[in-house]
Amino acid sequence: MLIGLWVTILGTCIVPELPEVETVCRGLRPYMEGKVLQNVVLHRSNLRNPFPPMFAERLQGQVVSKINRRGKYILVELPDYTWMMHLGMSGRIQRSSVADYIHQKHDHVVWQVDDMTFAFNDARRFGDMDLLPKGQMCLPIKTMAPEPFEIEAGDFYKRLQRTTRPLKTSLLDQAIIAGLGNIYVCEALWQSGLSPFKVSDSITLKQTQFLLKNICEVLERAIQSGGASLRDHKTVEGTLGYFQHQFRVYDQKGTPCLTDKCFGTIKREAQSGRSTYYCSTCQKN
């Protein structure tokens, strides 16, 4: 039985964002925290970057004290190191019993904990892993803004006032708010009635407060959906697919806008090389 700690939406894979990474962390914790890492095997020498020297040897025998998340980084706390993982564009972690594990194409890092095998599978290899000495963090995490659930609206507002870039571009900037990607930014802007093209420093404090509330709501809904699927599937034999929720604006080009009393249609436009989905009728502010 393979259980993919990953994301499918109507059968298509998407790039993991904060809710997906949070769901992976929640899926790993019960099986890994307080347990010893065993039989760590690397099947190649790199992902996006080369693995650090003696990577498998240094993981071997370490006891996992805690699994944390910062932005889209998974942080596995060990006595001597923090094992940093990033899922990149296509990374996923699959869990199976040791007896049932069958090596799959793109299983690059495999480890065991008790009678479970975990495989980090990454077809496109934009994922990343590193071992950081205790107390040290990699640069992207050092410069990362607070998490959406932790940032104060006043602080978020100040960060947005420092830039004239389009609002959507700013929300993807991990130095302004952590963990957001294309999907949830589109969803949160739509729910807030804010234009993705709005100049960032023209946002008011009141709009910022409303936007932050909606960002948290959109993320929470996604995490709950992933969590619910994890629970539902614990008793079910077979593959876990989750995040089956329907997006309201992302990937909905040409469909009627769902905002109450709005008769607009969802549009798609390229913005900073990414697809922006929005309603030009109700997202005018």
- Closest to Zn ion by CB, 115 vs 260, is 260
Residues 253 and 280 sit within 8 Å (Cβ to Cβ):
no
List the one residue from 86, 170, 257, 277 that touches Zn ion (CB under 5 A): 257
Rule CB under 5 A: is residue 249 a binding residue for Zn ion? no
Look at strands 3-5 and 92-97 and give their pairing: antiparallel
Query: Which residue reads 């008790």 in tokens?
Result: 114
Please state, in angstroms and rounded to a whole number, the distance separating the CA atoms of residues 247 and 46. Answer: 34
CB of residue 266 vs Zn ion: minimum separation in angstroms? Answer: 8
List the one residue from 163, 225, 259, 271 that touches Zn ion (CB under 5 A): 259
Rule CB under 5 A: is residue 258 a binding residue for Zn ion? no
44-83 mask for Zn ion (x: CB under 5 A)? Answer: ----------------------------------------
| Partner residues linked to 117 by β-bridges | 96, 112
Size of the residue set binding Zn ion (CB under 5 A):
7
List the one residue from 56, 205, 262, 268 that touches Zn ion (CB under 5 A): 262
- Closest to Zn ion by CB, 64 vs 279, is 279
CB of residue 217 vs Zn ion: minimum separation in angstroms? Answer: 18
Which of 125-133, 147-155, 233-241, 276-284 is the region at the interface with Zn ion (rule: CB under 5 A)? 276-284
Residues 175 and 145 sit within 8 Å (Cβ to Cβ):
yes
- Lookup: tokens for 7: 């994301």
Collect contacts of 31-35 with beta carbons under 8 A, ≥24 apart: 31/95, 31/113, 31/114, 31/116, 31/118, 32/64, 32/67, 32/76, 32/113, 32/118, 33/64, 33/65, 33/66, 33/67, 34/63, 34/64, 34/65, 35/63, 35/64, 35/113, 35/114
Which of 25-33, 90-98, 119-127, 264-272 is the region at the interface with Zn ion (rule: CB under 5 A)? 264-272
Q: What does the longest C-alpha to C-alpha distance in the chain come to?
A: 60
Which of 71-79, 98-106, 239-247, 251-259 is the region at the interface with Zn ion (rule: CB under 5 A)? 251-259
| SS3 at position 76 | strand
Q: Active-site residues: which are they? A: 16-17, 72, 274
Rule CB under 5 A: is residue 140 a binding residue for Zn ion? no
List the one residue from 76, 183, 230, 282 that touches Zn ion (CB under 5 A): 282
CB of residue 256 vs Zn ion: minimum separation in angstroms? Answer: 8
Please state, in angstroms and rounded to a whole number, the distance separating the CA atoms of residues 117 and 98. Answer: 5
Rule CB under 5 A: is residue 279 a binding residue for Zn ion? yes
**Residues near Zn ion (CB under 5 A):** 257, 259, 262, 264, 279, 281-282
